Amino acid sequence: MRDFPSYYGELRGVERKLMYKSEGLAMERSFYGIRNYEGSNERVVSVEEYGAKGGGVDDTMAFEKAWNAACSSNSPITLMIPKGNMYLLKPITFSGPCKSHISVKIMGTIEASSNPSDWNGKNQRTWILFNNVNNLVILGGGTINGNGKVWWQKSCKIDKSQPCKDAPTALTFNACNELRVENLNVINSQQIHIEFENCKNVMASSLTITAPSYSPNTDGIHIAGTQNITLNRCTIATGDDCISVVSGSQYVNATNIICGPGHGISIGSLGANGSNDLVSDVTVDTAQLTGTSNGVRIKTWQGGSGYAKNIIFKNIIMKNVRNPIIIDQNYCDSTKPCAQQKSAVQVSNVQYSNIKGTSESNLAINFSCSKSFPCSGIILQDINLVMSSGKSANSFYENAKWIKEGTVNPSP
């Protein structure tokens, strides 16, 4: 263990850097970035002023008209989706840039069309898309319902005779900077529930995301190519990862997360099809995972390149989690076996601190790392994981360079 003092110092430096970065972002946002609308006097317009009827009729065109009017406003404006009504939408894109700041207050329910043919000739990967809209605020306490059951039935993971293809993400933010998303319920998405893609400076809080445990590929929050994003007070129960972080993402902070059922909190998968994927500076602090198939996981395909580095998982409670702590550099989500390859995404500088609870399997810590690119700079600090039955759990380390602090159970 004394052979790795440099890893220890480097990880401590990473943690300090993330702390300072987070504090700096908070100060910056309070002055410049994310607006607070409580008590605001800006103009409010309702989608019903532009023809939205609710009650199950197609309101797509009315929402488009309302957005175009709001986006072209020369002064800040709030676009209201009223409480007490359900508005049916086909695939829709709210595009920027806009002339002024926009707040969208979702107080009612927005529901997706149940007819997949409504996506014919359109992007199969999105339902509600906000594209290139800066200084956007989404809030209101309402519900976004992806009406995903018809899509799940046609998934190759449910019906093996079906081809594997994309289904829509319920709510996508692409290239939206200085973004705030707060106090929403997102349920039964066709696939991913919320995706932040190529965004900068994002605050997402008080989100409740729900889908059945059997729903395929229904990640709760998916983060791709996004920098400086904070997730706080989110409750997620789905059929896939509660939170997934993939290539191009940096300075990701997730705090006060409740997860389960689902596949846990994942970085990756990375390196699929030989891709060069980069993820760094991720912190998960204060989380509870219950009945998930994985706890905190890093997963990479063989044959890829790039890195997953400077990652901290701390203050986490596991309850009946099948694989509480796992690094898998041999990930293979394929019907065919994946061939052994020499190249791999480098996993380094990962800290696990104050993680306690119960494991459904006898393998509570599992580091399956690459022989060519071993996992390095792993710190284990104050870990106590036992089997749900009360029996002692085991650990497995392959091609992993680690040190430990305090009590680590199961012992490496």
Tell me the residue ranges of DSSP E strands in 31-176. 43-46, 77-81, 86-89, 92-95, 102-106, 109-112, 126-131, 136-139, 143-145, 169-174
Query: Quick check: 28 pLDDT over 80?
Result: no
Q: Which two tokens stand for residue 126?
A: 């999105």
Query: Catalytic annotation on 101?
Result: no
How many CA atoms lie within 13 Å of 70's alpha carbon, on the beta-carbon side? 30
Query: Quick check: 74 pLDDT over 50?
Result: yes
- In angstroms, the CA 269 to CA 61 distance is 37
Question: Per DSSP, what are the bridge partners of residue 105?
Answer: 80, 139
φ/ψ (deg, to 5) at 366: -140, 105
201 within 8 A of 226, measured Cβ to Cβ: no
188: helix, strand or coil: coil
Predicted model pTM: 0.91
The mean per-residue pLDDT over the stretch 130-140 comes to 97
Eight-class DSSP state of 370: -
What's residue 333's pLDDT? Answer: 77
Question: Per DSSP, what are the bridge partners of residue 297?
Answer: 266, 326
The mean per-residue pLDDT over the stretch 20-26 comes to 42
143: helix, strand or coil: strand
Domain residue extents for the chain: 1-32+241-412, 44-213
What's residue 40's pLDDT? Answer: 56
Query: Quick check: 1 pLDDT over 50?
Result: no
Catalytic residue among 101, 193, 222, 240: 240
Which residue did the predictor score with more confidence, 12 or 161? Answer: 161
The share of the chain scoring above pLDDT 70, in percent, equals 90
Query: Quick check: 96 pLDDT over 70?
Result: yes
Please state the CATH superfamily assignment of the domain spanning residues 44-213 in this structure.
Single-stranded right-handed beta-helix, Pectin lyase-like (2.160.20.10)
Count the helices and strands in the chain (H runs, E runs).
3, 27
φ/ψ (deg, to 5) at 145: -110, 110
390 within 8 A of 360, measured Cβ to Cβ: no
What's residue 20's pLDDT? Answer: 38
pLDDT in tens, 288-340: 999 999 999 999 999 999 999 999 999 999 999 999 999 999 988 777 777 77
The mean per-residue pLDDT over the stretch 76-97 comes to 97
Amino acid at 152: W
Query: Catalytic annotation on 166?
Result: no
Catalytic residue among 219, 263, 281, 328: 263
Query: Quick check: 387 pLDDT over 70?
Result: yes
pLDDT in tens, 179-214: 999 999 999 999 999 999 999 999 999 999 999 999
- In angstroms, the CA 381 to CA 396 distance is 17
What's residue 38's pLDDT? Answer: 45
Under the banding of pLDDT at 50, 70 and 90, the label for residue 12 is: very low
119 within 8 A of 168, measured Cβ to Cβ: yes
Under the banding of pLDDT at 50, 70 and 90, the label for residue 16 is: very low
1-32+241-412 belongs to which CATH class?
A: mainly beta
- In angstroms, the CA 208 to CA 125 distance is 22
- In angstroms, the CA 83 to CA 185 distance is 13
The mean per-residue pLDDT over the stretch 111-139 comes to 97
The answer to which of 24-33, 324-333, 367-376 has the lowest mean pLDDT is 24-33
The DSSP string of 304-359 is -EEEEEEEEEEEEEEEEESEEEEEEEEE--SSSPPPP-S-B-EEEEEEEEEEEEEE
CATH topology identical between 1-32+241-412 and 44-213: yes
Distance of CA 244 to the CA centre of its chain: 4
The share of the chain scoring above pLDDT 90, in percent, equals 84
82: helix, strand or coil: coil
Query: Quick check: 56 pLDDT over 50?
Result: yes
Neighbour count for residue 383 (Cβ, 10 Å): 25
**297: closest CA among 335, 240, 336?**
240
- In angstroms, the CA 213 to CA 241 distance is 11
Query: Quick check: 129 pLDDT over 60?
Result: yes
142 within 8 A of 185, measured Cβ to Cβ: yes
